[in-house]
Amino acid sequence: FEVTPAPVVRARAEYEESFANTFLSESARALNLPVPRLPSDSGYLAFQAADSLTLRGTVLSPSVSGGRGSAIDISTPRDIVINATGKSAGAGVVTLSAPVLNSFGAESLVIGGRRVRGEDGTTLVVRTGNITVDNAGTVLSAPDLVLAANNNLVIAGGARIASGGML
């Protein structure tokens, strides 16, 4: 075999280069379809818990190549309490800390269900019965924030939720 520098190869033949990020986004726009998640975008992370869930550590959500940020889903059949400290809200309840959730830096955060992508689009499968947001003193925020419960969504006095930014 022969190792040849790129300029020599290009002089021998004509090549048309295509890049997935450009091709997929331009094709979607030409067909009047939503632009799908691209190779330059961050990934999808799903936390699915049966009985308990402890979130510690770091999630690297921003795209390293200028694409869209991560999509994170947190799903459990247990009731969920989101507070400012992460201190347990009692037996049989999954307690989440608003500052920890914020630290993930997710572009899209779903709490209480999970996204299922299919041929006809994305469906949200809701598993949680009840969500209580009781995070006085701390804002729970993400550019795209979805709280989904089958029964009740309770926003306690003094709780703060914010959704905004670029998608």
- 116: which strand partners? 123
Task: Point out the least confidently predicted range of 48-57, 105-114, 156-165.
Answer: 48-57
Three-state secondary structure call for residue 25: helix
Question: What is the largest distance, in Å, between two alpha-carbon atoms of the chain?
Answer: 72
pLDDT in tens, 44-101: 999 999 888 888 888 888 887 888 889 999 999 999 999 998 888 888 899 999 999 9
**Predicted local confidence at residue 65, as pLDDT:** 80
Q: Averaged over 2-6, what is the pLDDT?
A: 88
pTM strictly above 0.85: no
Query: Which of residues 159 and 15 earns the better pLDDT score?
Result: 159
pLDDT above 70: residue 166: no
CA 108/CA 46 separation, integer angstroms: 12
HSE on the CB side for 153, CA within 13 Å? 10
pLDDT tens for 129-155 read 999 999 999 999 999 999 999 999 999
Q: Note the pLDDT of residue 118.
A: 85
